[in-house]
A and B are shown apart, each in its own frame.
Chain A
Amino acid sequence: MKPTQPCADSLQQARLARYSPGSTKASARYLWPLAALMLLLAVNLLLDAGFFQLSFQDGRLYGSLIDILNRSAPVALLAIGMSLVIATGGIDLSVGAVMAIAGSICANLLLQADLPLPLVIAAGLATGIAAGLINGTLVSYLKIQPIVATLLLMVAGRGVAQLINQGQIVTFLRPDFAWLGSGSWLGLPVPVWLVIVMFGLSQLLLRRTALGLFIEAVGCNATASRYLGINDKAIKLFVYAFAGFCAALAGMISAADIQGSDANNAGLWLELDAILAVVIGGAALSGGRFSLLLSVIGVLIIQSLSTTIIVSGLPAKFNLLIKAVVVLLVLLLQSDKFRRQLSSWWPKLRKWRKGGQP
């Protein structure tokens, strides 16, 4: 019995070293993005005293905080998919266009009389998976660089959506489908529930099986992981298909939200917001470690910032500048090097002030 004990110990240690949510390093990873989010919410409270007010109205919670969660939903879904793609060292620029395609497919199917809702949703999701499989095949089997492979669909995809919609904004009157975007359940908007469910399922799939580890391994070193027996091509194909699925869901939410499919504007530039959120969440674009929770926090930061800008009453021309400055600050706060630099300046600054005051 005795000789096995050290072995079990080291196994336990290895496990802890791999995933130890309680270790100091992990908590530092969560600290700065969370601090940034809290700070933004505090600024909102200063601008608008009723910011944290929640009321119950027509069977749903109503307030600015709920709005932020609700408006975050499409980008949060994109970011969940994007986290995995980025973890393999790839990038998916096409998710915004895939949103537009899925939205246009659903909108046009809804115009056909009496198609059952599940069929419409399945068609939308299948579109997303198909688009993801195209991306994944180009990247993993044809060895095209991810940024180029997905750029194709980013540019062409919007054109496909415009073709499907024949250049018009296709509107539909289907309360059952609109429920996906503007309905509510147990007080919370449906898009928020969809994000929660998607987040929970992905987390289970990635962390309760070896899949998450495989994805990180492929991102760290695809060749080494292949020698370890991981099918790196299949993993890459999977993450792009997964990102496509998430994008389709996001596209259906935004189409359902305005009860129409606007091929020109649905999901426009949202791929960049999703990438930004993943980066704010601390993931490296070179691949490897990822955290879905941090990516979602990144999304919440971006959305709170948009709300802050709207509530602030500043002229619209400052929007993008403010966004850029705040994102830069958040990223700087997360940089160890910058924080060390800052803390090394601090004593000097105090000394200088003391010296300056006789």
Chain B
Amino acid sequence: MLLLSSTLALSSLAGATTIGFSQVGSESGWRSSFSESVKREAAARNIDLKFADAQQKQENQIRAVRGFIAQRVDAIIIAPVVETGWAPVLREAKRARIPVVIVDRNVQVNDDSLYLTRIASDFTEEGRKIANWLMQKTEGKCNIVELQGTVGATAAIDRAKGFNEVLSAYPNAKIIRSQTAEFTRSKGKEVMESFLKAEQGGRNICALWAHNDEMALGAIQAIKEAGLKPGQDILVVAVDGVPDYFKAMADGEANATVELDPHLGGPAFDVIAAYLNGDKDIAKYINNTGELFSQDTAAAEYQKRTNK
């Protein structure tokens, strides 16, 4: 009896924790590095990770979570595809006494005791951080053109909200043109070309603010082709922190970005370990907003990100 209980205790302490992870899919470079980072972190902590790729479908995710419950895993991590429709399966997990951690996107449930906690970066905070940097750099005097993300996307709405919040305190800074470039590089280039033409060849523009790095990278090419120097004649700020953007910053063609941290695995495993060890006092939202990077550290960061 003693032997049995001690082996049980050993198995749970010695890292034989089984965790199910339901991921959205692999639709972008950011998403792939997110998955990779969770897997690497799990291996380093000797966690038995059951990884399920939902291929962007919620029904696959729900099926995967039910599978995890049936296998009686110790905890479940969900990176949800959509916000709604999670209450039934979360209730099943709760009944089975399996803690669920939500990462990245949000879920909408009336009863927040259905999940342990949510770990995500705050898009509004990202917008605020980059706006603060820009306002400091330009001393609050700047004509900004904005490349929005896909119309209606949470990332686009909240990043714009945070940015504009900061901007409202500076009467001499304003957004003079704003249009969607759908989060893509080619649209970013196309829209920026038109902005440059419409604003006297870009002489009227002090800074470009893009809701993600990809659009900024396209716009940088448009600025160069217009005969201006991106990063000097027109400041470039964005959010995400993809490797190509670090390279652009190292080359002096972009100025700053706030990283959308793909390393959500570590904090999630920390929280789960704390909970399984008896810590029941866990906040419902853990802010994981990334750092702001500028040209000073860009070259070193690019090295770090390409030689993994």
- Where the two chains meet, the residues of A that have a C-beta atom closer than 8 Å to any C-beta of B are 48, 50-51, 57-58, 62-64, 67, 71, 167-169, 171, 182, 254, 257-260, 262, 264-266, 306-307, 309-311, 313, 315-317, 319
Contact = CB atoms under 8 A, between A and B. Distances in A.
Given A262-B184, A311-B198, A58 B26 contact: no
Given A171-B244, A258-B221, A316-B151, A64 B180 contact: no
10 contacts: A62-B226, A171-B244, A257-B221, A260-B244, A264-B27, A264-B28, A311-B194, A313-B177, A316-B148, A319-B151
Contacts of A313: 177-178
B244 to A, nearest CB: 6
Contacts of A265: 182, 184-187
Contacts of B217: 258
A169 B32 contact: no
Nearest to A266: B186
A239 B27 CA distance: 33
Contacts of A169: 29, 185, 214, 244
B227 A63 contact: no
B194 A67 contact: yes
Given A169-B185, A262-B186, A67 B197 contact: yes
B186 A257 contact: yes
A168 B32 contact: yes
B216 interface: no
A71 B179 contact: no
B104 interface: no
A68 to B, nearest CB: 9
Interface in B202-250: 214, 217-218, 221, 225-227, 244
A64 B27 CA distance: 34
A50 B182 CA distance: 27
A50 B198 CA distance: 8
A319 B185 contact: no
Interface residues of B, number: 34
B118 interface: no
Nearest to B192: A310
A273 to B, nearest CB: 13
Contacts of A48: 197-198
B185 A182 contact: no
Nearest to B152: A317
Given A48-B197, A169-B214, A316 B178 contact: yes
B191 A310 contact: yes
Nearest to B148: A316
Nearest to A58: B227
Contacts of A257: 186, 189, 221
Given A64-B197, A258-B189, A266-B186, 10 more contacts: A51-B197, A168-B29, A169-B214, A254-B186, A262-B214, A264-B27, A265-B185, A307-B194, A316-B148, A319-B180
A71 B194 CA distance: 11
Interface of B: 26-29, 32, 148, 151-152, 177-180, 182, 184-187, 189-191, 193-195, 197-198, 200, 214, 217-218, 221, 225-227, 244
Contacts of A310: 179, 191, 194-195, 198
B56 to A, nearest CB: 11
A167 B26 contact: yes
A67 B191 CA distance: 10
A303 to B, nearest CB: 10
B29 A167 contact: yes
B224 to A, nearest CB: 9
A81 B254 CA distance: 39
B197 A50 contact: yes
A307 B227 CA distance: 21
Top 7 A-B pairs, shortest CB-CB distance: A316-B180, A310-B194, A265-B184, A258-B185, A64-B197, A167-B32, A168-B29
Given A258-B221, A264-B27, A57 B227 contact: yes
A106 B218 CA distance: 19
Nearest to A259: B221
Contacts of A307: 194
A260 B185 contact: yes
A22 to B, nearest CB: 38
A247 to B, nearest CB: 16
Contacts of B187: 265
Nearest to B218: A258
A67 B193 contact: yes
A315 B160 CA distance: 13
A58, A309, A311, A316, most chain B CB atoms within 10 A: A316
Contacts of B185: 169, 258, 260, 262, 265
B221 A316 contact: no
B118 to A, nearest CB: 26
A65 to B, nearest CB: 10
A266 B214 CA distance: 13
A319 to B, nearest CB: 7
B177 A63 contact: no
A260 B179 CA distance: 23
